[in-house]
Amino acid sequence: MISGSIIGLFFYNADWLGGYTSFRRRMVRLAHISCFGIGFLNVLFGLTAASIPLDADIARVGSVALLIAAVAMPANCLLTAWRAPFRHFFFVPVLAATTGILSILAGWR
């Protein structure tokens, strides 16, 4: 909510961060939505882990991986908006999110 509030302070300015379709502004919007999207995945993971028999070790791996993704994706998006070469580090949150999701599927009995 805080990131959305900050972004919302400047939305009316057509030239903010280079305009609506600029790379920087798209990265900031992606950072904002990834907070909600990956957070939603974490909630679903918690509900899934509580409702189906899931191996404890696999559940722990999935939980940690999704937490890494929840922090790394918005951070990487904001860093990329600041300096474009940070885009090369998107593999970190993508691998973390993939590991989290696959661990749920692998641990499902």
Q: What is the residue extent of each domain of the chain?
A: 2-107
Q: 24 pLDDT exceeds 70?
A: yes
Across the chain, mean pLDDT equals 86
Rounded distance, CA 109 to CA 90, Å?
31
pTM exceeding 0.95 = no
Query: Which tens digit of pLDDT belongs to each residue from 40-49?
Result: 988 888 888 7
Q: What is the pLDDT of residue 8?
A: 67
Rounded distance, CA 59 to CA 70, Å?
16
Q: What is the pLDDT of residue 14?
A: 73
Rounded distance, CA 77 to CA 105, Å?
27
Q: Is the Cβ–Cβ distance between 81 and 28 less than 8 Å?
A: yes
Residue keyed to tokens 């790379």 = 23
Cα–Cα separations (whole angstroms), residue 54 to 8, 11, 42, 62:
40, 44, 15, 11
Q: What is the pLDDT of residue 73?
A: 96
